[in-house]
Amino acid sequence: MQIFEGDCLAILPTLEAASVDVIVTSPPYNIGLGYSAYDDRRGEAEYLDWMVQVATALRRVMKPDASFFLNISGSSNQPWLPFELIVRLRPLFVLQNHITWVKSIAVGDDTVGHFKPVAGSRFLHQAHEHLFHLTLDGRVKLHRLGVGVPYKDKSNIARRGHKQDKRCRGNTWFIPYDTIQRKAQKFDHPGTFPLDLPRWCIRLHGKPDAVVLDPFMGIGTTLVAAGSEGADGIGIEMDPAYVATARERLNNA
Protein backbone atom coordinates (compact mmCIF):
# COMPACT_ATOMS: atom_id res chain seq x y z
CA MET A 1 0.00 0.00 0.00
CA GLN A 2 1.18 3.52 -0.82
CA ILE A 3 -0.08 6.64 0.92
CA PHE A 4 0.75 10.16 -0.28
CA GLU A 5 0.08 13.18 1.91
CA GLY A 6 -0.80 16.25 -0.13
CA ASP A 7 -3.07 17.73 -2.78
CA CYS A 8 -4.14 15.13 -5.33
CA LEU A 9 -3.67 17.65 -8.17
CA ALA A 10 0.01 17.89 -7.21
CA ILE A 11 0.54 14.16 -6.64
CA LEU A 12 -1.44 12.57 -9.50
CA PRO A 13 0.96 13.89 -12.21
CA THR A 14 3.80 12.04 -10.45
CA LEU A 15 2.08 8.64 -10.79
CA GLU A 16 2.80 6.39 -13.75
CA ALA A 17 0.43 6.81 -16.69
CA ALA A 18 -2.01 3.95 -17.42
CA SER A 19 -1.10 2.18 -14.18
CA VAL A 20 -4.39 2.01 -12.24
CA ASP A 21 -7.09 -0.65 -12.58
CA VAL A 22 -9.80 0.73 -10.29
CA ILE A 23 -10.50 4.16 -8.85
CA VAL A 24 -12.97 4.31 -5.98
CA THR A 25 -13.40 7.70 -4.39
CA SER A 26 -15.79 10.04 -2.68
CA PRO A 27 -14.66 13.64 -3.17
CA PRO A 28 -15.97 16.53 -1.10
CA TYR A 29 -19.61 17.15 -2.08
CA ASN A 30 -19.45 20.95 -1.76
CA ILE A 31 -22.33 20.93 0.71
CA GLY A 32 -20.59 22.49 3.67
CA LEU A 33 -19.28 19.46 5.55
CA GLY A 34 -16.88 20.22 8.37
CA TYR A 35 -13.48 19.10 7.07
CA SER A 36 -10.52 20.38 9.05
CA ALA A 37 -8.17 20.99 6.08
CA TYR A 38 -10.57 21.74 3.23
CA ASP A 39 -13.28 24.35 2.65
CA ASP A 40 -16.39 22.50 1.45
CA ARG A 41 -18.22 25.68 0.40
CA ARG A 42 -16.75 26.70 -2.95
CA GLY A 43 -18.77 28.51 -5.57
CA GLU A 44 -20.50 25.97 -7.81
CA ALA A 45 -18.59 26.97 -10.95
CA GLU A 46 -15.27 26.86 -9.09
CA TYR A 47 -16.10 23.45 -7.62
CA LEU A 48 -17.08 21.97 -10.99
CA ASP A 49 -13.95 23.34 -12.68
CA TRP A 50 -11.82 21.85 -9.89
CA MET A 51 -13.47 18.44 -10.20
CA VAL A 52 -12.91 18.44 -13.98
CA GLN A 53 -9.21 19.11 -13.30
CA VAL A 54 -9.09 16.18 -10.88
CA ALA A 55 -10.95 13.90 -13.29
CA THR A 56 -8.57 14.85 -16.13
CA ALA A 57 -5.60 13.91 -13.94
CA LEU A 58 -7.29 10.63 -13.03
CA ARG A 59 -7.95 9.78 -16.67
CA ARG A 60 -4.21 9.87 -17.39
CA VAL A 61 -3.40 7.18 -14.78
CA MET A 62 -6.22 4.81 -15.78
CA LYS A 63 -5.47 1.67 -17.77
CA PRO A 64 -7.52 1.34 -21.00
CA ASP A 65 -9.89 -1.11 -19.28
CA ALA A 66 -9.97 0.64 -15.90
CA SER A 67 -13.09 1.48 -13.90
CA PHE A 68 -13.63 4.79 -12.10
CA PHE A 69 -16.31 4.60 -9.38
CA LEU A 70 -17.28 8.12 -8.33
CA ASN A 71 -19.43 8.34 -5.20
CA ILE A 72 -21.12 11.70 -4.85
CA SER A 73 -24.35 13.19 -3.58
CA GLY A 74 -26.19 16.46 -3.66
CA SER A 75 -28.17 17.91 -0.82
CA SER A 76 -31.78 18.94 -0.47
CA ASN A 77 -30.75 22.51 -1.30
CA GLN A 78 -28.31 21.52 -4.07
CA PRO A 79 -29.87 18.50 -5.82
CA TRP A 80 -28.48 19.34 -9.28
CA LEU A 81 -24.78 19.27 -8.39
CA PRO A 82 -24.04 15.55 -9.05
CA PHE A 83 -25.77 15.75 -12.43
CA GLU A 84 -24.03 19.00 -13.36
CA LEU A 85 -20.72 17.29 -12.58
CA ILE A 86 -21.40 14.11 -14.52
CA VAL A 87 -22.39 16.12 -17.60
CA ARG A 88 -19.15 18.10 -17.31
CA LEU A 89 -17.22 14.80 -17.25
CA ARG A 90 -18.83 13.53 -20.45
CA PRO A 91 -15.91 14.63 -22.72
CA LEU A 92 -13.52 12.58 -20.54
CA PHE A 93 -15.44 9.36 -19.82
CA VAL A 94 -18.32 7.13 -20.76
CA LEU A 95 -20.93 6.66 -18.04
CA GLN A 96 -21.06 2.87 -18.26
CA ASN A 97 -23.28 2.31 -15.20
CA HIS A 98 -25.17 4.51 -12.76
CA ILE A 99 -25.49 2.69 -9.45
CA THR A 100 -27.75 3.95 -6.68
CA TRP A 101 -26.28 3.41 -3.24
CA VAL A 102 -29.29 2.89 -0.99
CA LYS A 103 -28.44 3.82 2.61
CA SER A 104 -31.87 3.23 4.12
CA ILE A 105 -35.06 1.73 2.76
CA ALA A 106 -38.63 1.15 3.85
CA VAL A 107 -40.46 -1.97 2.67
CA GLY A 108 -44.02 -1.91 3.87
CA ASP A 109 -43.89 -0.76 7.47
CA ASP A 110 -40.38 -2.09 8.05
CA THR A 111 -37.26 0.09 7.72
CA VAL A 112 -33.60 -0.88 7.50
CA GLY A 113 -30.46 1.21 7.32
CA HIS A 114 -29.04 4.63 8.09
CA PHE A 115 -31.63 7.31 8.86
CA LYS A 116 -30.54 10.88 9.51
CA PRO A 117 -33.34 13.28 10.49
CA VAL A 118 -34.01 16.26 8.21
CA ALA A 119 -35.02 19.60 9.68
CA GLY A 120 -38.07 21.43 8.39
CA SER A 121 -40.98 20.19 6.30
CA ARG A 122 -39.93 20.84 2.67
CA PHE A 123 -37.69 17.87 1.91
CA LEU A 124 -37.76 14.11 2.13
CA HIS A 125 -35.04 12.20 3.95
CA GLN A 126 -31.89 11.66 1.85
CA ALA A 127 -31.80 7.86 1.65
CA HIS A 128 -29.44 7.30 -1.30
CA GLU A 129 -26.30 8.54 -3.01
CA HIS A 130 -24.93 8.23 -6.55
CA LEU A 131 -22.17 5.85 -7.61
CA PHE A 132 -21.19 6.71 -11.17
CA HIS A 133 -19.21 3.97 -12.94
CA LEU A 134 -17.05 5.73 -15.52
CA THR A 135 -14.80 4.07 -18.11
CA LEU A 136 -12.74 5.28 -21.04
CA ASP A 137 -14.75 3.60 -23.78
CA GLY A 138 -17.89 2.10 -22.20
CA ARG A 139 -16.86 -1.45 -23.12
CA VAL A 140 -15.20 -2.68 -19.92
CA LYS A 141 -16.27 -6.24 -19.07
CA LEU A 142 -17.31 -6.70 -15.46
CA HIS A 143 -17.54 -9.63 -13.06
CA ARG A 144 -21.21 -9.07 -12.27
CA LEU A 145 -21.56 -12.23 -10.22
CA GLY A 146 -18.69 -11.05 -8.04
CA VAL A 147 -21.34 -8.99 -6.27
CA GLY A 148 -24.21 -11.28 -7.24
CA VAL A 149 -27.14 -12.40 -5.12
CA PRO A 150 -28.96 -15.76 -4.86
CA TYR A 151 -32.09 -16.36 -6.92
CA LYS A 152 -35.32 -15.87 -5.01
CA ASP A 153 -37.09 -18.39 -7.23
CA LYS A 154 -34.73 -21.38 -7.40
CA SER A 155 -36.54 -22.80 -10.43
CA ASN A 156 -34.93 -20.03 -12.47
CA ILE A 157 -31.50 -21.65 -12.07
CA ALA A 158 -32.18 -24.73 -14.21
CA ARG A 159 -35.01 -23.23 -16.27
CA ARG A 160 -32.80 -20.45 -17.58
CA GLY A 161 -29.61 -22.49 -17.79
CA HIS A 162 -27.60 -20.78 -15.06
CA LYS A 163 -24.55 -22.55 -13.70
CA GLN A 164 -24.98 -21.40 -10.11
CA ASP A 165 -27.47 -19.93 -7.68
CA LYS A 166 -26.43 -16.36 -8.29
CA ARG A 167 -27.65 -13.49 -10.42
CA CYS A 168 -26.60 -9.91 -11.08
CA ARG A 169 -27.30 -7.59 -8.15
CA GLY A 170 -28.37 -4.81 -10.51
CA ASN A 171 -27.74 -1.11 -10.13
CA THR A 172 -29.30 -0.60 -6.69
CA TRP A 173 -26.92 -1.47 -3.88
CA PHE A 174 -28.25 -1.51 -0.32
CA ILE A 175 -25.25 -0.88 1.91
CA PRO A 176 -26.18 0.52 5.33
CA TYR A 177 -23.82 2.16 7.74
CA ASP A 178 -23.01 0.51 11.04
CA THR A 179 -24.91 2.28 13.80
CA ILE A 180 -22.72 4.64 15.81
CA GLN A 181 -23.41 6.69 18.91
CA ARG A 182 -20.74 9.37 18.55
CA LYS A 183 -18.58 10.99 15.88
CA ALA A 184 -15.37 9.45 17.18
CA GLN A 185 -16.64 6.03 16.10
CA LYS A 186 -16.19 7.11 12.49
CA PHE A 187 -12.75 8.61 13.24
CA ASP A 188 -14.03 12.23 13.37
CA HIS A 189 -14.48 12.31 9.59
CA PRO A 190 -17.68 13.99 8.31
CA GLY A 191 -18.06 12.00 5.07
CA THR A 192 -17.17 8.31 5.37
CA PHE A 193 -18.61 5.39 3.42
CA PRO A 194 -19.05 1.74 4.52
CA LEU A 195 -16.28 -0.74 3.78
CA ASP A 196 -18.53 -2.78 1.49
CA LEU A 197 -18.91 0.09 -0.98
CA PRO A 198 -15.31 0.05 -2.28
CA ARG A 199 -15.12 -3.71 -1.70
CA TRP A 200 -18.04 -4.34 -4.05
CA CYS A 201 -16.61 -1.94 -6.64
CA ILE A 202 -13.32 -3.86 -6.66
CA ARG A 203 -15.14 -7.19 -6.95
CA LEU A 204 -17.35 -5.88 -9.76
CA HIS A 205 -14.35 -4.76 -11.80
CA GLY A 206 -13.10 -8.30 -11.35
CA LYS A 207 -9.39 -8.02 -12.11
CA PRO A 208 -7.01 -10.11 -9.95
CA ASP A 209 -4.17 -8.24 -8.23
CA ALA A 210 -5.75 -4.91 -9.14
CA VAL A 211 -4.15 -1.55 -8.43
CA VAL A 212 -6.79 0.53 -6.63
CA LEU A 213 -6.54 4.31 -6.25
CA ASP A 214 -8.41 6.73 -4.02
CA PRO A 215 -7.32 10.35 -4.63
CA PHE A 216 -9.50 11.55 -1.71
CA MET A 217 -8.46 8.81 0.67
CA GLY A 218 -9.77 10.30 3.91
CA ILE A 219 -9.43 7.72 6.67
CA GLY A 220 -8.38 4.98 4.24
CA THR A 221 -11.54 2.91 3.77
CA THR A 222 -10.80 2.22 0.09
CA LEU A 223 -7.29 1.01 0.94
CA VAL A 224 -8.58 -1.24 3.73
CA ALA A 225 -11.08 -2.69 1.24
CA ALA A 226 -8.34 -3.17 -1.36
CA GLY A 227 -6.24 -5.10 1.13
CA SER A 228 -9.17 -7.33 2.06
CA GLU A 229 -9.68 -8.12 -1.64
CA GLY A 230 -6.03 -8.95 -2.31
CA ALA A 231 -5.48 -5.75 -4.27
CA ASP A 232 -2.76 -3.11 -4.03
CA GLY A 233 -3.83 0.35 -2.91
CA ILE A 234 -2.73 3.93 -3.52
CA GLY A 235 -4.22 6.68 -1.39
CA ILE A 236 -3.84 10.46 -1.56
CA GLU A 237 -4.99 12.72 1.29
CA MET A 238 -4.17 16.32 2.23
CA ASP A 239 -5.17 16.15 5.93
CA PRO A 240 -2.33 14.83 8.12
CA ALA A 241 -4.76 13.65 10.81
CA TYR A 242 -6.70 11.53 8.32
CA VAL A 243 -3.44 10.15 6.90
CA ALA A 244 -2.41 9.06 10.39
CA THR A 245 -5.79 7.40 10.93
CA ALA A 246 -5.55 5.62 7.58
CA ARG A 247 -2.12 4.26 8.41
CA GLU A 248 -3.37 3.03 11.78
CA ARG A 249 -6.39 1.33 10.20
CA LEU A 250 -4.20 -0.39 7.63
CA ASN A 251 -1.80 -1.60 10.33
CA ASN A 252 -4.71 -2.96 12.35
CA ALA A 253 -6.22 -4.62 9.29
For residue range 122-175, what is the model confidence (pLDDT) as tens digits?
A: 988 889 999 999 999 999 999 999 999 999 889 888 888 888 999 999 999 999
Alpha-carbon span 225 to 198, nearest angstrom: 6
Instruction: Give the pLDDT of residue 170.
Output: 97
Domain boundaries, the chain: 2-252
Q: Sorting pLDDT into bands at 50, 70 and 90, what band is 227?
A: very high
Alpha-carbon torsion angle 44, 223, 195, 9, nearest 10: 0
Long-range contacts (CB closer than 8 Å, 24 or more residues apart) made by 140-143:
140/65, 140/66, 140/67, 140/96, 140/205, 141/65, 141/206, 142/67, 142/204, 142/205, 142/206, 143/203, 143/204, 143/205, 143/206
State whether CATH 1.10.10.10 applies to domain 2-252. no
Q: Sorting pLDDT into bands at 50, 70 and 90, what band is 97?
A: very high
Q: What pTM does this model have?
A: 0.91
Q: Sorting pLDDT into bands at 50, 70 and 90, what band is 74?
A: confident
Radius of gyration of the chain (CA): 18
Cβ distance 187 to 245 under 8 Å? yes
Alpha-carbon span 189 to 237, nearest angstrom: 13
Alpha-carbon span 48 to 70, nearest angstrom: 14
Average pLDDT score over residue span 189-196: 77
Q: How far is CA 157 from the centre of its chain?
A: 32
Q: Sorting pLDDT into bands at 50, 70 and 90, what band is 184?
A: low
Which range among 5-19, 80-94, 111-125 shows the weakest confidence by mean pLDDT? 111-125
**107 burial via Cβ count (<10 Å: 0-12, 13-18, 19+):** exposed
**How is residue 167 annotated by DSSP?**
B
Q: Sorting pLDDT into bands at 50, 70 and 90, what band is 181?
A: low
Cβ distance 111 to 164 under 8 Å? no
Q: Sorting pLDDT into bands at 50, 70 and 90, what band is 237?
A: very high
pLDDT, one tens digit per residue, over 99-120 is 999 999 999 999 998 777 778 8
Predicted confidence (pLDDT) at residue 224 exceeds the cutoff of 90: yes
Average pLDDT score over residue span 191-220: 94
pLDDT, one tens digit per residue, over 26-69 is 998 776 666 666 777 788 899 999 999 999 999 999 999 999 99
Instruction: Give the pLDDT of residue 151.
Output: 92
Task: Express as a percent the part of the chain with pLDDT over 70.
Answer: 92
Mean pLDDT of the chain: 91
